[in-house]
Amino acid sequence: MRKIVLGIFIGIVVTVGGYFARQAVSSYVSSLATISPLSKMLEKPLEKYSILRLAGRVFTGSQIVLDEASATTSAYTVYPFHFLSDGKKVTGVAHIPNAENQKFPVIVQFRGYVDREAYFPGEGTQRSAEVYAANGFISLAPDFLGYGGSDMPSPDVFEERFETYTTALNLVASVRTLSMADPAKIGFWGHSNGGQIAITVLEILGRPIPATLWAPVSKPFPYSILYYTDDVPDHGKLLRRELATFESQYDIEQYSLTNYLNRIIGPVQIHQGTTDAEVPLVWSDWLAQTLEATNSAVSYFTYPGADHNMQPDAWNTVVARDITFFGKYLR
């Protein structure tokens, strides 16, 4: 009996050893950059969302479908739209200049945080989108998963966050499907948490995409979300419990935008109000200084007395500077 068991054991060792030897040789000969099937089986579910893993992924996007126009002015038309992001439906609002046989540059707009119960499509982007469209830029503002008519996000609190990046990346890849859009001329606009999304997506893409950031959240993950937990009913107890589990399984540094700012190679314009109660002035001071160390095309504007939404007096100045900025890099 012992001989039989020993024989089986030796067979298993030989078989498994042979398998791994073949895998090693195959990997060496072909110099594959992809992950082996065995690694995929052992991979943790959220590893695919690390910034560098997303940077190595190819996003193909899908067809952007414009639904029936919801509003029309002499300068632009407003359309609800939808597309697919990793198989999930995402809705949004498009402001498109009125002109035939012309391709327009595109500004993809990422809004800040809004409670789902209070959200409406275009919340946080509508006013600026109207100005951009009136000046000859297409605005595409996704609702994100769980908002508007979009499908629901992952029930995992951190995967839901990471899905904002994949949604943004799939939307950027989908711009080419709009007949009136010039996919070679894309810019980003991000406000607050939308600024955090814009920064992260710029790092993932590593492309010279011009971006304007309004009071962006720019602190390391997960401090960038823990900072705001005093506003939730349980003061962040649930989030901290989930975070402890996440940190026990993943290297959190691989998900923090502060570690990859040198991957932002396009022109960046930052706007910050000095009385902002949501994003402290020192955050944007640090972001601008850090970006300037590796990027010569960074402009930083502060607005004395302005709040998180560039009120009461700075909003028009901020938008005018954006028009000049995007006109310089996207015309």
Give dist(CA 318, CA 270) in Å, integer.
10
Q: Are residue 37 and residue 50 in the same domain, yes or no?
A: no
pLDDT score at 15:
42
The answer on 201 and 66 residing in a single domain is yes
Please check whether residues 31 and 61 belong to one and the same domain.
no
Q: pLDDT tens digits, residue range 3-52?
A: 433 443 344 333 434 444 444 434 433 433 455 565 556 789 999 999 99
Do residues 13 and 76 share a domain? no
CATH number of the CATH domain containing 227: 3.40.50.1820
Residues 182, 71 share a domain: yes
User: Both 35 and 126 in a single domain?
Assistant: no
Domain count, the chain: 2
Query: Any idea what the Cα angle at residue 162 is, between residues 246 and 319, rounded to 5°?
Result: 135
18/89 same-domain check = no
Amino acid at 31: S
Q: Which domain holds residue 36?
A: 2-41
Are 191 and 246 in the same domain? yes
The verdict on 28 and 75 lying in the same domain is no
Q: CB pairs under 8 A, 24+ apart, for 222-230? A: 222/246, 222/252, 224/196, 225/161, 228/113
Cis amide prior to 105 (ω within 30 degrees): no
- Is 121 found in the same domain as 18? no
Question: pTM of the full predicted structure?
Answer: 0.87
* pLDDT for residue 31: 39
Q: Given the DSSP bridges, would you call strands 138-142 and 104-110 parallel, antiparallel or unpaired? A: parallel
Are both 139 and 9 inside the same structural domain? no
Q: Any idea which residue has 């007395």 for tokens? A: 305
Each residue's pLDDT tens digit, 150-169: 999 999 999 999 999 999 99
Nearest CA-CA partner of 54 in 163, 158, 154: 163
Confidence of residue 192 (pLDDT cuts 50, 70, 90): very high
